[in-house]
Amino acid sequence: MSDEIRIGIIICDRYRGCAGGKCLRALNNREGAFSIYNDKEVKLVGYTACGGCPGGNIEYAPEEMKKNGVDVIHLATGLIVGYPPCPRITQFRDVIKTKYGLDVVIGTHPIPQNYYDTHTALGTWKSSKWKEIIQPTLADENIRLLYD
Ligand code: SF4
């Protein structure tokens, strides 16, 4: 991997009309799951949706991103916060890692506070599996409020 990290973002198809505002803001500010890049150079080389349940584009989109030199694929925060969260999220991570040999990070921008409140009330993220999944995008309340 060079000094410049090339990333791709795959969003949940429920939000396919999304212009990527929160993801790109978080990328520029190195917030949420992008905080791991800190002072590193990052270039966005791909952005697409999963293709709709059950996520058929997961099988193909990483290949195109790989041709563009992608190092890390981020599964967008929408997969975590949607109602319900994507039930295939860890399968997507595992297939991209195994089939394409790429690093995968679950999450992009910080979890917005309104989603945090609702999922907390629903108990969505109570399991140890989900606690681990939300960790990179959990942030603190002040940051979450900025993403409402
Ligand atoms: S819930 Fe999962 S499989 Fe369904 S559209 Fe969203 S990301 Fe794709």
Q: Whose CA is nearest to atom 7 of ligand 1?
A: 12
pLDDT, one tens digit per residue, over 15-24 is 999 999 999 9
4-146 architecture in CATH?
Answer: 3-Layer(aba) Sandwich (3.40)
The model carries a pTM of 0.96
Q: Which of 9, 10, 11, 14 to mutate to test the pocket of ligand 1 (most atoms within 8 A of CB)?
A: 14
My answer on whether omega of the bond before 54 falls inside 30° of 0, hence cis, is: yes
Query: By the 8 A CB rule, do 74 and 37 touch?
Result: no
What is the CB < 6 Å shell around ligand 1? 12-14, 50, 52-55, 79, 86, 88
pLDDT, one tens digit per residue, over 57-79 is 999 999 999 999 999 999 999 99
Helical H runs in the chain?
21-29, 61-67, 78-81, 89-100, 113-122, 128-138, 141-146
